[in-house]
Amino acid sequence: MSNCSSIDLEDNSSVSLTIYFKLTKPSNQALGTTNVKALLKYSSSSNGNEKGSYTVLSNSWGNNNTEFYGQIPINVSENEIQVNGSSIFIKSITDSGVESNSCEYSLEKDEVPSFTLSPTSINLSCGDTSSRTFTVTPSNIPSGANVTYQWSHSGWSLVSSTDTSRTLQPNSGTSLPSNVSVTPYINGVVQSTETCSVNRSPFTTQATISGNSSLCSTATYSVNNLPAGVSVTSWSCSFPDIATISGNGNQATLTATGNGTVAITATLTNACGQTKVITKANISVGAPNFSPYPEMSGDSNPMVGEYKTYAVTGAEGATSYSWYFDVGNGVTGTNVDGWEILSYGYQNKSINVRVGNPGTTVVVCKATNSCGNRIKYKYVTVRSPSDPCGELRLSSNPMKSGNSTNRIIYPPIDPCDDPYGNKTANSKKTVEIFNQYGEKVYSQSQTENDFYVNDLKKGFYIVKSQTVSGKTMTEKLIVE
């Protein structure tokens, strides 16, 4: 190609080019590195995309040379340029920022014939037999060329046609017809085939399951708004150990086998064999179902007259909650033996109480629905103000001096350290021993319950212990 002339790609998809360039500089002028780039401009307004480059080092010029020759091989694809208006040129950039551009080679290509089919895809719902029109549109056809089309489709009935269009109707609403394709010919030469893909639309429905949200023994459920051509092919229940289901068409009977909450599902099948599952959730079966865990929360060893809170987590299927106290001998109530309910918490799942008289009382919560009730309870041992928080025990009293088995024993679980029933048996305990003159002769803190004191001399002692909650217990000790 002559310098900066026009380059025609014609109808090629790509061409390979080698651009030869010459750099010149003033004599005796030292240069650093120069970067030479080949830039492709899609239009006159673009800056150009780099297609190749060449790096000229300062020592590439030789001694006192003022010219340098190089070449840059590149490849240009037809989709990178327009029919007219694209170009390619050379830019040199020195490391000091001096730029220089060559003139531009204009690039052009032939217009290539093309065809498009509309639509490119369609979705047919089950039962849809409405007609569709498919149109092929030619572009860049050479003047005077003879264009013909060969259409291909099956499962369709021809409604009407022209050279560039077909109006087709599905033969069946349940069998999916084939894709629709057209192959163009220009002067008898085959072109690329264009295709419209035909797909089945997803199965959607407004059908729902109606029926009670709770049952004691049996209940009947039905599928409403069932479309024509759609049938219920199966029923299922999420937890057969709570309830079983048997279906007959769009109706089913749910039978209780336990207590709890279930969901039932119905599988719908349309005439095209597509399936859709619909669900009715949160059906309460039988009497309320209290989970054994967590236990009822609250202090299991309060003191008479204290104010405490007791609470439960919800029971499945419960519609209401009630509370009472069982103080034994068949005596129950909400205000009995000094126990009194002061207020109720959210949805009656908790109560604030004033603790009653010393002794053992059962705090009871009863969950109820139309099928019956279930209870959750907590044994509470009430202390009087004079009661110790726990009993400190001695291995013997008096003890024998130097006996290796001498020990002070904490109760296994200290109620003072356990106000909310958490049974913190491993909480830290402290024991101090004072002689008859008030001098501390022993001090130990540990989580174990046994404190060994085999090195005490003969005499009279006071043993003091302290719990995590700060309560103090004392015991007199004689060592012989």
Domain ranges of the chain: 7-108, 114-200, 208-285, 307-382, 393-479
What top-level class would CATH report for the domain 7-108?
mainly beta
How many Å separate Cα 443 from the centre of its chain? 55
Q: Strand 331-333 relative to strand 335-336: parallel, antiparallel, unpaired?
A: unpaired
Q: Specify the pLDDT at position 422.
A: 47
CATH no., domain 307-382: 2.60.40
Give backbone dihedrals phi and psi of 421, rounded to 5 degrees, phi first.
75, 25
**How far is Cα 120 from Cα 37, in angstroms, rounded to an integer?**
42
Bridge partners, residue 186, by sequence: 147, 189
Domains 208-285 and 307-382 share a fold: yes
**How far is Cα 36 from Cα 119, in angstroms, rounded to an integer?**
48
Q: How many helices (DSSP H) and strands (DSSP E) are in the chain? A: 0, 40
Q: What is the pLDDT along the chain (480 residues), one digit of tens a residue?
A: 788 899 999 888 899 999 999 999 888 777 789 999 999 999 999 999 999 999 999 888 876 678 899 999 999 998 899 989 999 999 999 988 889 999 999 999 888 899 999 999 999 999 999 999 999 999 989 889 999 999 999 999 999 999 999 999 999 999 999 999 999 999 999 999 999 999 999 999 999 999 999 999 999 999 999 999 999 999 999 999 999 999 999 999 999 999 999 999 999 999 999 999 999 999 999 999 898 889 999 998 888 999 999 999 989 899 999 999 999 999 999 999 999 999 999 999 999 999 999 999 999 999 999 999 999 999 998 888 766 555 677 888 889 998 888 888 876 555 555 544 444 456 777 889 999 888 999 999 888 888 899 889 999 999 988 765 566 778 889 998
Instruction: Concatenate the DSSP letters of all residues of 320-374 into one string.
Output: EEEEEEEEETTEEESEETTEEEEEE-GGGSEEEEE--SSEEEEEEEEEEETTEEE
CATH no., domain 114-200: 2.60.40.10
What is the 8-class DSSP label of residue 295?
P
Amino acid at 372: G
Q: Strand 121-124 relative to strand 194-200: parallel, antiparallel, unpaired?
A: parallel
Give backbone dihedrals phi and psi of 123, rounded to 5 degrees, phi first.
-120, 130
Q: Specify the pLDDT at position 472.
A: 73
CATH no., domain 393-479: 2.60.40.3110
**Token pair belonging to 313:** 């987590």
Query: 383, 358 in Cβ contact below 8 A?
Result: yes
* Domain 208-285 coded CATH 2.60.40.1080: yes
